[in-house]
Structure 1
């Protein structure tokens, strides 16, 4: 299972994206099982997802993510998967650092650090993995980093919505990049998302417009007809996401916003 910040992290610069901005914030979501296929062995799932973003386009973005989920199979014991990541995306999307720590039932399963740099966005990037010292991997020329991709989609929303196809590197699968096919709907006016109007936690969002967004991640190699995973959400004009759906194929989780704090803005001019 891939780390899904997507987007979040999500959740997250090309010249066309400079008009879009993401405010520093900390958001907490309650997770529950939304759907499980008939052939799935999963009976229920629940957990929490915490997401924090600080910084700006001029100083770089730091994104912290933690997702702790209990999976209860139809047979057998409950499994708790606790995934934590910290990512820094430098100004201009030229420098990328990613640290992943994951535990299963309290026992460490993965501790990985990734570093990628490139001379320009249109140039190939070179990266290293702490798990493979002395080896390097290549990020395709023009690949978008998470925040760069998020801002691109927000700019597409500001332009009226549409479809975007981008190569994305987010560190969720070591040195692997993905083809992200995204659909951004037309802007919803303030107060149009009934779910958030009824949620007091989302009060600071009521004066903002939002866009419905769906992002599907495909492998670069081959001609897969179905994505490896898919995320959908409503993205507000300040970069806060609500109504999360994390779809892993055999099952899907939904995320409900339960806490939101806007943090101090960047000191950049």
Structure 2
């Protein structure tokens, strides 16, 4: 998609009202992450002449389910309408991932369409070991790739939350999310602000339902090419407000030549069996 596998940011508790609410909900995994479906409206905030984009809008739907004991599944769809002045085209990326934290395995499948025509499909699996991360690609071609040890998306999100709780404001990680051609990892630099509560005129906070008054952290993550490292300009930056249960809102997606915003339009909390119930089966 226009965005790499942005789903990992949303995959993703233990102070204040949000922790109590999370622990009480049936969709909460042992980690405090809540099973949910979030819908975001996308709009173009800014663009340069070099981007060739006059206008852009769309919608992003992100669904996160599972638990620490059964693994985490994400279904993600990112649809945009792009106006270049000369033409209007529709892009549609559909991504499904599954992350088994205990087994240190990750599977991914992404289909990208332009004007309803399939442009690209990337799929495969990855596994962590002491020696590094091994990727087995099955689409578009079958091959094995050996990478430096990397975190998977939910694992990285939990790092962000843990560091935010601990008051650590900046840290770097290497991640693998299966995006682009599924054969490279990324270096990330994460900046976490101090915990905040919504102000009275924060209209988007109301879309968070029972979490509308809960505290959040402002987070910015910069993504760097593995070869160039953090000394070069990032491939893109994402900023968002992050709750302790993994829900995000007020997104800003900065690609250098253009910037998108993503406003939370709808949030549904989904029910998932707890690990205790799964163990009893």
Tell me if both proteins adopt one fold, taking TM over 0.5 as the criterion.
yes
Relative distance call for 1:38 and 1:62 in structure 2 (3 A) is same
Shift of 1:154: 0.7
Give the 3-state SS of the residue equivalent to 1:39 in structure 2. Answer: helix
Relative distance call for 1:40 and 1:83 in structure 2 (3 A) is same
C-alpha distance in structure 1 between counterparts of 2:205 and 2:140, whole Å: 46
Shift of 1:194: 4.3
Asked whether 1:182 is paired with 2:185, we answer: no
- Structure 2: 5+ residue stretches without partners: 13-28, 277-281
Shift of 1:8: 2.2
Shift of 1:62: 0.1
Q: How many residues align?
A: 257
Q: Is the 8 A contact 1:160 1:187 kept in 2?
A: no
C-alpha distance in structure 1 between counterparts of 2:8 and 2:199, whole Å: 22
For residues 95-138 of structure 1, what are the alpha-carbon distances to aligned partners after superposition, in whole Å with 9 as ceiling and x for unaligned?
Answer: 110000111011111122111123x4x44121121235442002
Relative distance call for 1:253 and 1:129 in structure 2 (3 A) is same
Q: Is the 8 A contact 2:8 2:177 kept in 1?
A: no
Q: Aligned to 2:121, which of 111, 129, 150?
A: 111
Structure 2 counterpart of 1:137: 145
Q: What TM-score do you get using the length of structure 2 for normalisation? A: 0.85
Structure 1 counterpart of 2:245: 238
Relative distance call for 1:99 and 1:206 in structure 2 (3 A) is same
C-alpha distance in structure 2 between counterparts of 1:28 and 1:169, whole Å: 24
Give the 3-state SS of the residue equivalent to 2:87 in structure 1. Answer: coil
Structure 1 counterpart of 2:207: 201
Shift of 1:159: 1.1
C-alpha distance in structure 2 between counterparts of 1:159 and 1:65, whole Å: 30
For residues 152-201 of structure 1, what are the alpha-carbon distances to aligned partners after superposition, in whole Å with 9 as ceiling and x for unaligned?
Answer: 00111111241010000001121110000110111113x348425x5532
Structure 2 counterpart of 1:80: 90
C-alpha distance in structure 2 between counterparts of 1:187 and 1:93, whole Å: 33
Structure 2 counterpart of 1:213: 219
Asked whether 1:248 is paired with 2:255, we answer: yes
Shift of 1:28: 0.1
Structure 1 counterpart of 2:164: 157
Shift of 1:20: 5.2
- Structure 1: 5+ residue stretches without partners: 13-17
Shift of 1:19: 8.6
Relative distance call for 1:193 and 1:96 in structure 2 (3 A) is farther
Asked whether 1:171 is paired with 2:178, we answer: yes
Give the 3-state SS of the residue equivalent to 1:157 in structure 2. Answer: helix
Structure 2 counterpart of 1:70: 81
C-alpha distance in structure 2 between counterparts of 1:84 and 1:129, whole Å: 18
